[in-house]
Chain A
């Protein structure tokens, strides 16, 4: 099976930078995704790392280290609208996109 660990809650100040870590244990690891979910809303895709290193998409970046079974999501220039839950999700197959989600990190951005 798979297991993922992320902090349950993080609080950060508007305009600051925050990093949300994710460690995983799985066999057949293929890649790591990140999703954002606002309260009452649908999860929305943020990024995917299939290879080691940093992927940057605007204010959001995601990092993966396969050797450490570790990844993180970096959010820069935090805005109030970034307050949401953030999920890392492990993809275990190249054949199809089955993913296992972590329990999520609730980010609160304060003024």
Chain B
């Protein structure tokens, strides 16, 4: 089966524009995570979905960031009024159920490299 896919792989935009980043998780995975990774840093948690609902959005830096997962599969991360500081690689990951003692692995997509000029 296919792994986690993300589109686009690269996105260049101008300051102030709106962008959408898409994530297709592994089929059957109910848990979905968004991370942001800057150069030389580890992935930084943004938001976690269990099914269709955002169970934890504590990592979203401000209200310019928003994410949805309307049918419990594909998710879209939306960034309004982009700023140069938003430039990073945005990673999506999924896991089977999201919790419990046996579900310990997250499967990451290749990421979207966002550059805000």
Contact = CB atoms under 8 A, between A and B. Distances in A.
Interface of A: 31, 33, 41-45, 48, 50, 87, 89, 91, 93-104
Given A43-B91, A45-B107, A50-B104, A97 B99 contact: yes
Given A103-B40, A103-B42, A104-B42, A97 B108 contact: no
Contacts of B43: 43, 87, 101
A99 B56 contact: no
Considering the complex of A and B, which 4 residue pairs feature the smallest CB-CB distances, nearest first? A101-B42, A48-B104, A42-B108, A96-B99
Contacts of B56: 96, 98
Nearest to B43: A101
B42 A31 contact: no
18 contacts: A42-B110, A43-B91, A45-B104, A45-B105, A45-B106, A48-B104, A89-B42, A91-B104, A94-B99, A96-B48, A96-B98, A96-B99, A97-B99, A101-B35, A101-B44, A103-B40, A103-B41, A104-B40
B50 A96 contact: yes
Given A31-B104, A45-B105, A97 B31 contact: yes
B106 A97 contact: yes
Contacts of B103: 97
A99 B45 contact: yes
Contacts of A42: 4, 91, 108-111
A96 B101 contact: no
A50 B101 contact: yes
Nearest to B92: A42
B111 A95 contact: no
A32 to B, nearest CB: 10
B117 interface: no
Contacts of B104: 31, 33, 45, 48, 50, 91, 97
Nearest to A30: B101
